[in-house]
Every structure is written in C-alpha cells, then in structure tokens.
Amino acid sequence: MEYTILILLLPVLSFLLLALAGMKMSHRVSGLIGTVVLGAVTALSYMAAYDYFSLPRQADGTFATLVPWNAVWLPFTESLHIDMGVLLDPISVMMLVVISTVSFMVHIYSFGYMKGERGFQRYYAFLSLFTFSMLGLVVATNIFQMYVFWELVGVSSYLLIGFYYTKPEAIAASKKAFIVTRFADLGFLIGILIYGYYVGTFSFTPTETGLMQGAMMLPLALGLMFVGGAGKSAMFPLHIWLPDAMEGPTPVSALIHAATMVVAGVYQVARMFPLYIAYAPETLHIVAYVGAFTAFYAASVACVQSDIKRVLAFSTISQIGFMMVALGVCTGAPSHEGGLGYMASMFHLFTHAMFKALLFLGAGCIIHAVHSNEMSTMGGLRKYMPVTHVTFLIACLAISGIPPFSGFFSKDEILTACFAFSPVMGWIMTLIAGMTAFYMFRLYYGIFWGRENKELHAAHVPHESPLSMTFPLMVLAAITCVAGFIPFGHFVTGDGLSYDIHLDATVAATSCVVAVVAIALATFMYARDTQPVADALARRFPRLHEAAYRRFYMDEAWLFVTKRIIFRCVSRPVAWFDRHVVDGFMNFLAWAANASGEEVQPMQSGRIQAYVLWFMAGIIVLTLMLLLCV
C-alpha cells in the first residue's frame, strides 16, 4: 500500500504551491487547488481503508500492522532515532478516513463561508498545512514522529486561529492556544525522553528487554505524555485555550477544534494503549478521572453560555472527556470486557467528529446569516434556513444520544464500559450525558425557536446559505444518521479481535430516558418566547450562574499564574538582576579602575622632592623585602 505516502505528500504540495504562489492566484483557483487535492486525499484514504480492512486477518485474528514507508530522519544513537514513515493499523486508518472526510467537507464549505475574505489563498494554504500535519500525526510510526507532527498541528492551529490577524482577540486567542499547548507538550517531550532513555527506543512496540528495563518508569513516562495529550485535547485545567480558539473562522473551529486536532490526545492515549494496559493501569484510571471531571465541568459551563460557538466548544471538551473516560476505564480483563472502552472511545471519536463538525458548520451558516455569535440575536430562525435547521436538529439528537443516530450507539458503548468499570462512574457519565442533551437543546431552541429578534432581522433578513455550504451539512447529516450502524467492532477493538456491538438493554434504556427527560426539560424552559424558569433560576442562584458563565474563573486563575507569577515575579526580577547586579558588577570594575587611578594621581605632584622621596621609599621597601623574604 505504498500509495499511502501520497496522502501525506499531496497536502504538503498544495500547501507549498499556495503559500509561495498563492498571492498570484485568484481566490477561485487557489480554493479549487486546495479542495481538489483534498478530494484526492479523501479518495486515497477511503481506498486505503478499503484495502486495509479487506486484507485477510492474521492467524491470531487481528489486523496486521503495516509500515509501507519508514526512513531514519534524524539519527541520535544506534537505538534512538527519529523515523519518518507511514504506519497503518485499524485506528490510524480510521483516523485517516475521519480527518480526510471532515477536512474535505470543510474545504468545500469554506468556499461559501470565506467568500471574498482577504487572505483567501492563505486560508487554504493553512488548511492544507493542517491537514498534512494531522494526517502525519495519525500515521506516525514512532512517538517522536508523532511529537513532530504534534507541534506542526499546534502551529497550524495557531496560524488559523489568528487568521484574522488584525483582531486583537484573535491574536490573543492564538497566542494562548499555542502557549498552553506548548506548555503541555513540554510534558509530552519529557515523557518521550524518559521513554526513550529507559525503554531504549521511540517506537510504539518496544522490545521485551527494553520493556523489562523500562517497566518501572513507564507509568511516569506515559503520565507525562498524557499531559501533552491533555493539553491538545483541552482536558481540565489545560482546556482554557479551546473556548478562545473560537475566534478563528468557524470552518476552522469545525475542522480543528471539534473534529480532528482536539482528539489527538485521545488518539495518543489509544496509540499507547497496550503499554498503558500492561504497565500503567493506574495511570490509565487517572486519565479516566481527569476525563470525567472535565466532561462534567465543561457540560455545566456549557449550560449557561450565550455565545453559540462557546457552547459548542464546551460541549466538545465534554465529549472528549467522554472519550478519555472510555479509554480510562479499560482494564486488563480478558476478552472484550476490559477493552470495550477502547472500542467505544474510538467509535465515539468517529461519530463525534462527524456530528460535531456538522454542528459547527451549521453554526457557521447561522453566524453567516445573522453576523453574530450571540444567541440574543437569533431565535426563530427555523423558517429562514430550513436545511440548516434540520441538519442541526439531527446533530443535536445524535449528540444527545437519541437512537437511531450515531451518537446513541457510541455513547451507549461508553456508558456500558463505565458501568463495567464501576457503577458510580457509570451513573456520573449518564448524568453528564443528560446534561449534554439539555444544553444542546437549550442551544437548539435558543437559535431556531424562542423569541425572534425582530428589529435585527428586519434590518437584515437572515437567509439560507448557498449550496457550497449546505451540501457539506447534508453529507455530514447523512453520515450521522447511518454511522451508528457501522459494525465498528469488526474494525477497531482493544485486542484487535472482531467483535459484534450488542446493546446492553438496561444501559441503553436508562441513557435514552435520561436524554429524553433532559430534552423535555430544555423544551419546557427554552422552547417558548420567554424563559421564566431559566431566568428565575439565574436569579435564584446568581453566584452559581455568574461563576458558570465566567467558566468558574479558570481563565482568571491562569491569567494570575502567567501575568503575576511568571511575568512579574520571575521575569522582571531576573531582568533587573541582570541589568543591575551582573552588568552592574562589570560597570563597577570599570569605575573602580578609574577611581583607583585618581587615588594614585597625587603621587605625580610635580614637585621633584616628592619624586625622590618616592624613589627612596621604593628603595627602602625593596631592600626590606629582600632582607625579610629571601
């Protein structure tokens, strides 16, 4: 399957072409180049997926891990070296499909959304760069290649968030995103260093001897790597960059901050899964707890946000929390019990990518229509933009876990796994699932129902988006409808063996009931023109509402750490020290030389008697010196 290298090469070529020659091209041409290339990549990815999964399974019933390409890029020592290559196994192939699909949709969508924007070519160049990096990340053959593309993904996200580089918020957001993730990547890097030192390789499949040596340090190494993953996947408390990242163009949010990049952390954990299971189950459970808390925190914040993209952002964080939990609750238990969460997590990653991208693109259409992110400017849009309305509704149902939409199936698997791990965890996650349904429908009603902002709409009548934007919506909606029925367990499972997804009736029932109740509640509170209950609650618990609205002051906390601690209490003193102590010492030396010069100057009094006096003094001193010393 050597052709898979093209999946990487094509985007980078289009990036170079657009970056170097883009300014010479018209918008249409550059956009077409990007889109066509991405189309090709998508086709190749599907082809790769088909070829891969149609290969005969191995004797032990798992899919073979293929490495069609691998070459040493940067040699360190005999055993340690960064390789660049392509690795195909179930999850990487699955990711190829996800990324290329969403990216392709976003490319098409952007035609309409970014129409006439300044820097259209730049936009498409960055999209290609991002796609390339993301694909490179998922097909990495070793942890260091993953880190390389990890960084590239980070920077392309930085560039795309800061696409409107004249907007101060955009600049701040992009900076924040990069620095926070960079900070997390430090953990990743140190983890890699420890891994490489103790296990003696960067590859995902160390030798037995290496594992023997490294077994003791593996939990630490994997934990540090997870810090990196937590940063990219916006786990609490490193999540703060993601809501701000919504300053970027909406298609970018759909692609990077909903579907692909933010799940890199999940992918990383899945990638190291065998090592976690075998050597660091405790670390894996820490992952689970972090994920659960994040999911809850994000969901609770999402319930009160008024900016639709912020709501979606927090719901993304929450959903990624779900995936992390699913991975975290895995155990070494035999057959599929232990590994169920793994499959569930990957499944949810897949479905979530689709419907969350759909939600963001839909939000994009709405923003496009009303030129604002604020719910207050919306309401009652369903009659203006039917397609968007329907697709958005589908996505909401999917994320709320209503059968037969894809979200139901994946989330159900996750809950099953959680219950298998511990009932407490199971119930917590079910509750959070309910909250998900609640805030999603609050959003839905706030946009499409509720009181219409008449005067605004009179001034500027909202309209359905052009086909280039609605087409991707329909495609994604279609996928969302059918994806649930994919026999996912046949492709991706914890132990690699084929497995039939069967619904655990009780879990399914409970989650459905909870979801329906939550939706009903949301309908009760937000479907009408006025929302007395909600306002009453807000008035009843002003503190809580305020805190949730301000995201429980996490940003302020971080600002305190960065501005006060780092900037004021470290950098300034260091700089002062440098100028006044270190440098001051050097200047002091110069001054001292001058001063002592003036000290000896009187010697040169100009009076000859004084001169011969010194002369005699010198003789006497020297004589005494000789008489005493020698």
Partner 1 sequence: MEVHVICYLLVGAVMLFAGVYGFFTRRNLLATLISVELMLNAANINFAVFNRYLFPGMLEGHFFALFGIAISAAETAVAIAIMINVYRNVRNIQTDDISDLKG
Partner 2 sequence: MNNSNLSAILSLHAELSLVVVLVVVLLADLLRKPDAGGRWFRVMVCLLMGVQVFLDLTPDARSLFGGMYVNTPFTSVVKSILSAGTLLVFLQCGEWLGRRDTRFRQGEFYVLTLSTLLGMFFMLSSGHFLMFYIGLETASIPMACVVAMDKYRHHSAEAGAKFILSSMFSSALLLYGLSLLYGTCGTLYFADVPGLLQGSPLQQLALVLFIAGMGFKMSLVPFHLWTADVYQGAPTGVTAYLSVISKGAAAVALAVVLRFVFPLMKDDWTLTIAVLSVVSITVANLMAILQGDMKRFMAFSSISQAGYIVLGALAGTAQGMASMAYYIAVYVVANVAVFAVISTIEQHTGGLTSRDDYRGLYRTNPRLTLVMTLALFSLGGIPPFAGFFSKFFIFAAAFEEGWWVVVFLALLNTIISLYYYLLVVKAMYISEPEDGRCVVAPMRSAPGVRLCLVLCVAGICALGLCSGFYEGLEYWAEAL
Partner 3 sequence: MNILSLFVLIPALMLLGLWAARSINQVRGVMVAGASALLALSVWLTVAYLQARGAGETAEMLFTDSVMWYAPLHICYSVGVDGISVVMLLLSAIIVFTGTFASWKLQPLTKEYFLWFTLLSTGVFGFFISTDLFTMFMFYEVALIPMYLLIGVWGSGRKEYAAMKLTLMLMGGSAFLLIGILGIYYGAGAQTMDVVELARLHNIPESMQHVFFPAVFLGFGVLGALFPFHTWSPDGHASAPTAVSMLHAGVLMKLGGYGCFRVAMYLMPEGLAAWGDFFLVLTTISVVYGAFSAVVQTDLKYINAYSSVSHCGLVLFALLMMTRTSCTGAILQMLSHGLMTALFFALIGMIYGRTHTRDVRELSGLMKIMPFLAVGYVVAGLANLGLPGLSGFVAEMTVFVGSFEHADVFHRTCTIIATTSIVVTAVYILRVVGKILFGTCQNPAHLKLTDATWDERLAVICLIVCVAGLGLAPWWVSDAIGGSVEPIVSHLLVLNP
Tokens coding 399: 């994320």
**Shortest separation between residue 210's beta carbon and partner 3, angstroms:** 15
Number of residues in the chain? 630
First to last CA, the chain: 90
**Shortest separation between residue 168's beta carbon and partner 3, angstroms:** 6
Of the ranges 7-15, 107-115, 516-524, 600-608, which one interacts with partner 1 (CB under 8 A)? 600-608
**Of 264 and 312, CB closest to partner 3:** 264
Subset of residues 547 to 586 that bind partner 3, contact rule: CB under 8 A: 566-567, 570-572, 574-575, 578, 582-583, 585-586
Element holding 75 (H helix, E strand): strand 66-75
Whether residue 109 contacts residue 363, with contact meaning beta carbons closer than 8 Å, is answered with: no
Asked if residue 166 binds partner 3 (CB under 8 A), the reply is yes
Concatenate the DSSP letters of all residues of 575-590 into one string: HHHIIIIIHHHHHHHH
The one-letter code for the residue type at 499 is: Y
Residue with tokens 């290298």: 5
Residue 197 interaction partner, one of partner 2, partner 1, partner 3, none, beta carbon < 5-8 Å per kind: partner 3
Residue 16 interaction partner, one of partner 1, partner 2, partner 3, none, beta carbon < 5-8 Å per kind: none
Asked if residue 502 binds partner 1 (CB under 8 A), the reply is no
CB atoms within 10 A of CB 505: 8
Concatenate the DSSP letters of all residues of 307-358 into one string: BHHHHHHHHHHHHHHHHHHHHHT--S-THHHHHHHHHHHHHHHHHHHHHHHH
- All residues at 6 or more sequence positions from 391 whose CB lies less than 8 Å from its CB, including other chains: 358, 362, 470, 473, 474, 476, 477
Q: State how far the Cα of 145 lies from the Cα of 142, in Å rounded to an integer.
A: 5
Residue 626 interaction partner, one of partner 2, partner 3, partner 1, none, beta carbon < 5-8 Å per kind: partner 2
Asked if residue 604 binds partner 1 (CB under 8 A), the reply is yes
CB atoms within 10 A of CB 559: 13
**Shortest separation between residue 588's beta carbon and partner 1, angstroms:** 25
Packed helices 218-232 and 168-199: angle between N→C axes, nearest 10 degrees? 160
Residues that bind partner 2 (CB under 8 A): 593-594, 596-601, 603-604, 606, 608, 610-612, 614-615, 617-619, 622-623, 625-627, 629-630
**Of 77 and 601, CB closest to partner 2:** 601
Tokens coding 385: 């933009």
Of 606, 626, 628, 629, which lies in the binding site for partner 1, with binding defined by CB under 8 A? 606
Residue with tokens 């970018």: 252
Q: Where are the alpha helices (DSSP H) in 449-531?
A: 454-459, 467-483, 505-526
Concatenate the DSSP letters of all residues of 146-215 into one string: HHHHHHHHHHHHHHHHTTSTT-HHHHHHHHHHHHHHHHHHHHHHHHHHHHHHHHS--BSS--HHHHHHHT
**Of 306 and 594, CB closest to partner 2:** 594
Of 36, 513, 612, 625, which lies in the binding site for partner 1, with binding defined by CB under 8 A? 612
**Of 183 and 549, CB closest to partner 3:** 183
State how far Cα 626 lies from the chain centre.
80
Asked if residue 172 binds partner 3 (CB under 8 A), the reply is yes
**Shortest separation between residue 195's beta carbon and partner 3, angstroms:** 10
**Shortest separation between residue 170's beta carbon and partner 3, angstroms:** 8
Asked if residue 608 binds partner 1 (CB under 8 A), the reply is yes
Asked if residue 149 binds partner 3 (CB under 8 A), the reply is yes
**Of 133 and 316, CB closest to partner 3:** 133
Asked if residue 190 binds partner 3 (CB under 8 A), the reply is yes
**How does 362-394 read in b/e, with b if 16+ C-beta sit within 10 Å?**
bbbbbbbbbeebebebbbbbbebbebbbbbbbb
**Of 166 and 609, CB closest to partner 1:** 609
**Of 306 and 596, CB closest to partner 1:** 596
Residue 619 interaction partner, one of partner 3, partner 1, partner 2, none, beta carbon < 5-8 Å per kind: partner 2
**Of 399, 406, 402, residue with least CA distance to 443:** 399
Of the ranges 25-33, 145-153, 514-522, 612-620, which one interacts with partner 1 (CB under 8 A)? 612-620
Residue 524 interaction partner, one of partner 1, partner 3, partner 2, none, beta carbon < 5-8 Å per kind: none
Of 55, 61, 64, 75, which lies in the binding site for partner 3, with binding defined by CB under 8 A? 75
**Shortest separation between residue 588's beta carbon and partner 2, angstroms:** 15
Residue 598 interaction partner, one of partner 1, partner 3, partner 2, none, beta carbon < 5-8 Å per kind: partner 2
Q: State how far the Cα of 522 lies from the Cα of 290, in Å rounded to an integer.
A: 28
**Shortest separation between residue 155's beta carbon and partner 3, angstroms:** 6
Asked if residue 77 binds partner 1 (CB under 8 A), the reply is no
Q: For the chain, what percentages of helix, strand and coil (3-state, to nearest 5) are there?
A: 75, 5, 20
**Shortest separation between residue 279's beta carbon and partner 3, angstroms:** 20
State how far Cα 94 lies from the chain centre.
18
Element holding 437 (H helix, E strand): helix 423-448
Subset of residues 116 to 145 that bind partner 3, contact rule: CB under 8 A: 144
**Of 517 and 625, CB closest to partner 2:** 625
**Shortest separation between residue 450's beta carbon and partner 3, angstroms:** 36
Of the ranges 163-171, 329-337, 444-452, 604-612, which one interacts with partner 1 (CB under 8 A)? 604-612
CB atoms within 10 A of CB 611: 12
Asked if residue 609 binds partner 1 (CB under 8 A), the reply is yes
**Of 166 and 609, CB closest to partner 3:** 166
Residue 600 interaction partner, one of partner 2, partner 1, partner 3, none, beta carbon < 5-8 Å per kind: partner 2
**How does 176-202 read in b/e, with b if 16+ C-beta sit within 10 Å?**
bbbebbbebbebbbbbbebbbebbbbb
**Of 197 and 615, CB closest to partner 2:** 615
Subset of residues 288 to 317 that bind partner 1, contact rule: CB under 8 A: none
Q: State how far the Cα of 166 lies from the Cα of 172, in Å rounded to an integer.
A: 11
- Per CB under 8 A, residues contacting partner 1 are 601, 604-609, 612-613, 616
- Per CB under 8 A, residues contacting partner 3 are 72-77, 80, 82, 144, 148-149, 151-152, 155, 158, 162, 165-166, 168, 171-172, 174-175, 178-179, 182-183, 186, 189-190, 193-194, 196-197, 566-567, 570-572, 574-575, 578, 582-583, 585-586, 590
